[in-house]
Amino acid sequence: YSEIAEFIGHPKAVRAVGTAVGRNPISYLIPCHRALRKSGGLGGYHWGLPVKRSILAWESARAEA
């Protein structure tokens, strides 16, 4: 989220960006599930971490095929 906040010219708006991403009603068009913590951890996801893990695993399997 910090990268997005910097990109939009508001580097201190990290929480606002996180809130906006979390409320993304069209996540199938704007892939917010790809947002990770700075540490590389998964972080949270509006529909839960099991769903986030599943989507990321599905994308990874498609990329390897």
pLDDT in tens, 11-59: 999 999 888 887 877 766 777 788 788 888 888 887 889 999 998 999 9
Helices (H) and strands (E) in the chain, counts: 3, 0
Tell me the residue range of the domain where 60 lies: 2-64
Contacts of 27 (CB under 8 A, 6+ apart): 33, 46, 47
* pTM listed for this prediction: 0.64
Q: Return all residues near 29 (Cβ < 8 A) that are at least 6 apart.
A: none
**What backbone phi and psi angles, to 5 degrees, belong to 34?**
-85, -10
Specify burial of residue 16 (Cβ count, 10 A radius: 0-12, 13-18, 19+): middle
Q: How many domains, the chain?
A: 1
Per the residue annotation, which of 32, 42, 55, 56 is the catalytic one?
Answer: 32
59 is catalytic: no
Output the pLDDT for position 11. Answer: 96
pLDDT of residue 50: 94
